[in-house]
Chains A and B, each alone.
Chain A
Amino acid sequence: MVEERYKSILFCKEPFDLEERKRDKKKFSQELFVDLNINQLVDSLPIGGDKEFIRELLQTPLNDPEEVYFRQAIFRDLESGVLWDGVLALVGTLEHVDEKVFSLERLVCEEQKEALFLNIVNEYCNAINNFYDVLKSVSIKSDGLNMVLLCIEKYVVSEFYQTMNKENHLLVKQLSEIRYNIIFRENALIVANANGGEDYNTELLELFGPFLFGEKREGYCRKITSGINMNPVELSIMQCVKKLNPQIFKQIHGFRNRYSEFREEFVGCFCDEIRFYINYLKYIALLQKQRMPFAYTCFVNNMEQTKIEDGYDLILGIKLLDRGVEVVLNDFDCLKNERVYVITGPNQGGKTTFSRMLGQIYYLSMLGVPVPARNVSIVFPKGIFTHFEHEEVAYNDNGKLQDDLLRMRDILENVTDNCLIIMNEMLSSTSYKDALQIGKKIIEKLGMTNNISIYVTFVDELSCANEKVVSIVSTVQSSEHGKRTYKMKRKAANGLVYAQSLADKYDLSYEKIKLRICKNVQGR
């Protein structure tokens, strides 16, 4: 049910306060963010605004699918270019308004403060009016934004706003219509009401119009800058103008007194909260422009319905954009009885990236944001547990093994069901035999739980440990260079396949050439 009182566009249930929710955050550790590189997402947020607030939101996943769908609906609405522009305009203008109010203090002349105040309120009212128009003109499907529309509507039709708006616009208009002449004489300045004399510039433009085709350029002269405070000459002139137009100056003076509290609280709240959406969308904007897929996660009831199509590591995707390379897409699905996925393959083949991608997609799904994939259907995760290898940690071999085992025990003790577990390159510090034996035991234990476990390892034999285990291999191209494809395929672990013809090496085979020429047409 949508009500008129503004609650929040980040949460649709109690508690609406972020602080309270943070206390409930025990399921996710700080390491998770580092492992999945989500901390890099947070670090790359634009500075300014309330960065801490957004960081905390990103670290506080939602509790149930309904809340996720609430946020997704708002993201979906923001896909409309008109609404997106409208929101950006509102947030930007209100930020601007705040800055200007702050800078009023620096002015010395009282009259200037009054005039500037008039202008500030004008900007504010225009922003509100424009935003209201935008909201009315687009088709809004989300509960969140519908609530905002109703609140704004109530505000805009209120008597306070109506009078302020009308009076402000009238005064601004009247002020803009004042024109006066300054006549420079030898020992005097004369300030007079404009008597509708002829404007030289207009005539000049008419004469040279065909040469410029209406494009008058500026900026040939050195800019004469003046601070916001007027110099004594300008002040004297202003005093004359005031004497020539006493009525309007008096009205502007009165306006400032009456409307000093012109800002409406909920609008500020909305702007703060909507920044969460804006920042995330700006972060993924470049990828979207390259037509990389993004999806809204759909939650299902059975593990067997789990399916991820064309997913990729979001952070990596953005990094590779700089190098003009596209990140590889991969699928993942869970068929009947499958619970543990053992991933093997050559080094630097994309195994870690694949596991990170899964972690990211699961985690981001709980934030209600568009996730990096074409289609995602998963069970709402009760927890996400990760253990990635950290090269920086300089333990001796025994210390590291103990570390790994302790972490595994910790995970196995704390999982419930419907969780995602990712163990990445564990036991790399121990002997092959140990890694095989210990690995077998752990996979058995994992197989007995009702979770999805991803086990990345260099031990190929683990991939056929038992029937609940699926083997996924990162594949290479068949050529002597063993070029990685970064594609994961369900198949038995095997060695590399070598040798091909000379032409293949340079992509000069029959098929390759036709493909390349096709690509040239698409202008990749």
Chain B
Amino acid sequence: MKVSLLFKDKAMDWKKSHKVDNCFDDFKFTVLLDAMADGDRLIYDCSEKVMMCRLTSKEQILYRQNVLKDCIRNQELILKLYEILTGVMKDTIQNKKYIKLNDYPSVVLSDSKEKLRYYMDKYMLIGKTMEENESRFYSEGFISFIKDFKEKVRPGFLQKMNEMMSFLDNTEAISVNASVGVAYQGSNYRLNKDSEPCPSFFRLTRSAYKISTRDWDARRLEYLLELKQLGVEATADILASVADELTSFFSELQKEIAFYCGCIHLHKKLFVKGCALSYPKVFDTEDCKLSFSNLYDVGLALSQKKRVIGNTLNMDTCDLVVIVGANQGGKSTFLRSIGLAQIMCQCGMFVGAEKYEASVYSGICTHFRKNEDPTLNSGKLDDELHRFSDSIDVLKPYTILMCNESFSSTNEKEGTEIAIPIIDAMIESKIRVFFVTHFYSIPIHYVNSGRKGVKVLQAERKKDATRSFKMVESAIIQNSYGMDLYNSLF
């Protein structure tokens, strides 16, 4: 039984570890996850897994956005649904309603009967609740979910099921049908529906033979019991499979809904603070789009009381953004705001901005300076290069690379000499690079080279020398200060 609230045509692979990028630590992802989880361990885990599993196409993202919109619209219902599912799963584990494997067929049979009754009950509850609210769901995901339920539980289903179950309640006289196997053994045993053939029938046609078991010894009686077990094995398997299917269905559904509950929690928290939220417009990878208005760092917004500053930029045509400026100016926050937004966008969520338009990227890779490590100075350039080289192993075209103070462990001349060929190779391999640095010679090089598609930003410094934490186009570079100054004075 399929659950397709996350993907249209497949189930989410919860077991696979999707963690390929190191960026999750650099973007302080846990702040976001904590807000989504609201104390629920399962919501935390599921949200984490979903967000690490990046979607790769416009269609997939749109599908999920629509399901999410439905969830936000029907918040109470979805949260209630999650509660019911949690209850079922808890019952399953605590009361050991798992299917017991490897027991005798007759035991499996009666066990499965009981479980099936319980699960079918819950399934009806969930299905009916959704069906009643059918008119409030517009997304393809939920519409097909409800349709699926209606197809499975057609009118008369419950009655028929009860009928068949009660037939099994009578275990005394059973009749089994068999065919002849490879070495004349019986095989392919199946349960017959009517177990009382007419006695006179036999005398008339001599098509039956009777074996008396009255005086049989213990060993033979044991074999006889075995035979009976063989007779009901196939039936037991069927009932057990249905119960099994329902259990996995509930488990799947619970996990997928968990993610959406996480989104609902997040939405509430940000909404209450008056933060802007919007659903991004998504473009194909080759379009290389990235532009936004009033984009802010969602993590920061959650953790501080003050209003968070947003940035507005259009970076569609540039593949290199160099960010210069003094510390504490908001450069890292800026990178983080884009990183988080892109991740959220690519798993079908809303983002923290008034407007956000972006392509689907192959990945996000970060190379942030590790602030806690004071030894990242001269002599440790080796380590930095090593780490950088490792991160290249996962780079593909159409990835976003964010470098924060890379190669700062050496002097400006050497650092620039190393950085420029690397940056060139990256952008020529269609990788979008954000490079934060205090080596001014890097942006100067690019501006002087007249290369198109380069933007230089810096943290805004107001007239009164305070910081606004906004990113603006850098004016410093326009004048190549040193030589001009000389020329003007001499």
A residues sitting closer than 8 Å to B (CB atoms) are 107, 109, 111-112, 115-116, 119, 175-176, 178-185, 187-195, 197-201, 203-205, 207-208, 210-213, 215-222, 224, 226, 228, 230-234, 236-238, 240-241, 243-244, 502-503, 505-511, 513-514, 516-518, 520-521
Contacts and interface: CB of A to CB of B under 8 A. Distances in A.
B177 A199 contact: yes
6 contacts: A188-B211, A190-B197, A191-B208, A199-B191, A207-B157, A212-B245
B242 A211 contact: yes
A222 B385 contact: no
B210 A188 contact: yes
B212 A197 contact: no
Contacts of B245: 211-212
A180 B178 contact: yes
Contacts of A210: 151-152
Leading 10 A-B pairs by shortest Cβ distance: A192-B208, A513-B425, A220-B240, A198-B193, A233-B223, A506-B389, A510-B421, A240-B209, A193-B207, A217-B241
A200 B211 contact: no
B355 interface: no
Contacts of A520: 393-396
Nearest to A220: B240
Interface stretch (B231-239, B270-278, B471-479): B231-239
Given A207-B164, A210-B151, 6 more contacts: A188-B213, A201-B235, A208-B238, A220-B241, A221-B233, A521-B396
A332 to B, nearest CB: 34
Contact of B152 (A182, A211, A233, A513): A211
Nearest to B205: A193
B1 interface: yes
Contact of B101 (A220, A232, A507): A220
Interface stretch (B33-41, B182-190, B285-293): B182-190
Interface stretch (B66-74, B124-132, B168-176, B309-317): B168-176
Given A221-B237, A240-B209, A195 B197 contact: yes
Contact of B211 (A191, A221, A507): A191
Interface in B244-299: 244-246
Nearest to A119: B182
A200 B235 contact: yes
B138 interface: no
A511 B240 CA distance: 60
B102 interface: yes
Given A188-B212, A198-B194, A231-B223, A208 B242 contact: yes
The interface centre, meaning the residue of A111, A112, A503 with most chain B CB atoms within 10 A of its CB, is: A503
Contacts of A502: 381, 385, 418
Interface of B: 1, 99, 101-105, 108, 112, 151-152, 157, 160-161, 164, 167, 173-180, 182-186, 190-195, 197, 202, 207-214, 219-220, 223-224, 226-231, 233-242, 244-246, 381, 385-386, 388-389, 392-397, 418, 421-422, 424-426, 428-429, 431
Contacts of B209: 190-192, 240, 243-244
Contact of B185 (A213, A234, A507): A234
A201 B234 contact: yes
Contacts of B184: 109, 111-112, 115, 230, 238, 241
Nearest to B2: A213
B175 A176 contact: no
Nearest to B152: A210
Contacts of A224: 226, 229-230, 233
A189 B213 contact: yes
A197 to B, nearest CB: 5
A216 B238 contact: yes
Given A188-B212, A514-B428, A233 B191 contact: no
A179 B385 CA distance: 76
Contacts of A237: 186, 211
A236 B185 CA distance: 11
A200 B220 contact: no
A431 B236 CA distance: 83
B212 A187 contact: yes
A222 B104 contact: yes
A455 to B, nearest CB: 40
B68 to A, nearest CB: 28
Contacts of B192: 181, 197-200
Contacts of B161: 207
A195 B192 CA distance: 11
A184 to B, nearest CB: 5
Nearest to B174: A184
Given A181-B175, A181-B177, A514 B425 contact: yes
The interface centre, meaning the residue of B101, B102, B246, B429 with most chain A CB atoms within 10 A of its CB, is: B429
B104 A187 contact: no
Given A188-B213, A216-B237, A232 B223 contact: yes
A335 to B, nearest CB: 40
A230 B227 CA distance: 12
A516 B392 contact: yes
A216 B241 contact: yes
A210 B230 CA distance: 26
Contacts of B112: 220
A218 B237 contact: yes
A232 B164 contact: no
A194 B177 contact: yes
B274 to A, nearest CB: 43
Given A191-B211, A193-B208, A520-B394, A183 B191 contact: no
Contacts of A220: 99, 101-102, 108, 112, 236-237, 240-241, 244
Contact of A182 (B99, B178, B234, B381): B178
A513 B164 contact: no
B208 A190 contact: yes
A101 to B, nearest CB: 14
B242 to A, nearest CB: 5
B173 A204 contact: no
Contacts of A182: 175-178, 186, 227, 231
Contacts of A513: 392, 422, 425-426, 429
A413 to B, nearest CB: 56
B424 A211 contact: no
A514 B421 CA distance: 11
Contacts of A517: 392, 395-397, 425, 429, 431
Contact of A233 (B183, B193, B224, B424): B224
A236 B246 CA distance: 42
A140 to B, nearest CB: 35
Nearest to B430: A517
B299 to A, nearest CB: 29
B193 A203 contact: yes
The interface centre, meaning the residue of B195, B208, B237, B396 with most chain A CB atoms within 10 A of its CB, is: B208
A210 B173 CA distance: 31
Contacts of A518: 429
B90 to A, nearest CB: 23
